[in-house]
Structure 1
């Protein structure tokens, strides 16, 4: 069954991880989707209680992992040909360790988004754009 990793395309760290996972992660049928750009997908995820502002989402059929659990699950499935992904697999494939380290990833994401002038919550950008029309 296909896996879909939904990430925040506004975050350079998130985008880099997603792209490398898709290209050299060794996970067959991994599809990546930019949740910041895909408003319809983000609405579907929000309806399921999966807020992209609080973390990446991994989907497999009806199963969904969010935040640290999503990263632990995808890292546990990696069979990378890339040294950076191999290191990330070691760090994040164990769910307890992923839960402890995930706040650092969220901090890096917040910092990168602030630096780029983007809101942490992609829905804030959508609401602001709608109000300005």
Structure 2
């Protein structure tokens, strides 16, 4: 008997590694404890995941992204799914699960998170992520 099933794609989370809030969030959320192996990818390194996001017309500077079970979750959807997938152990994860398990709260609060990221980058003198479609050609 032959099997035609394919191995599921490993989930990934694409975030801004130079944003102190994004980096801290990715380290604190306990995704691996609940769903196993997840590739954490700094969007500043570029790569096929960033290109895949851009191909869908999504701007990494406007939201983090996660691909899970073949679907890309972006911005407020991403933070909502992360809260549902991560464990609720520890104070940070319990708070995160409580706040963002609601789609409405995720949608309402995400613009403030994005503004905080943009403000932090400006204060720290860091530029936004170079996007493949807008990068100057050589």
53 and 78 in structure 1: CA distance in 2 versus 1, 3 angstrom threshold: same
6 and 22 in structure 1: CA distance in 2 versus 1, 3 angstrom threshold: farther
Moved more, 67-76 or 36-45: 36-45
In structure 2, what is the equivalent of residue 117 of structure 1?
Answer: 125
Given the two structures, how large is their TM-score scaled by the length of structure 1? 0.82
On the 8 A contact 1:75/1:88 being kept in 2, the answer is: yes
65 and 23 in structure 1: CA distance in 2 versus 1, 3 angstrom threshold: closer
Which consecutive residues of structure 2, in runs of 5 or more, have no partner in the other structure? 1-7
The equivalences for 1:1-133 within 5 A come to: 1=8, 2-22=10-30, 26-123=34-131, 127=135
Counterpart CA distance in 1 for 2:79 and 2:68 is 13
Given the two structures, how large is their TM-score scaled by the length of structure 2? 0.79
41 and 30 in structure 1: CA distance in 2 versus 1, 3 angstrom threshold: closer
Query: How many residues in Structure 1 have an aligned counterpart in Structure 2?
Result: 129
23 and 72 in structure 1: CA distance in 2 versus 1, 3 angstrom threshold: closer
Which consecutive residues of structure 1, in runs of 5 or more, have no partner in the other structure? none
Counterpart CA distance in 2 for 1:30 and 1:41 is 13
Deviation at 1:23, TM superposition (A): 6.9
Aligned-pair Cα RMSD in Å: 2.4
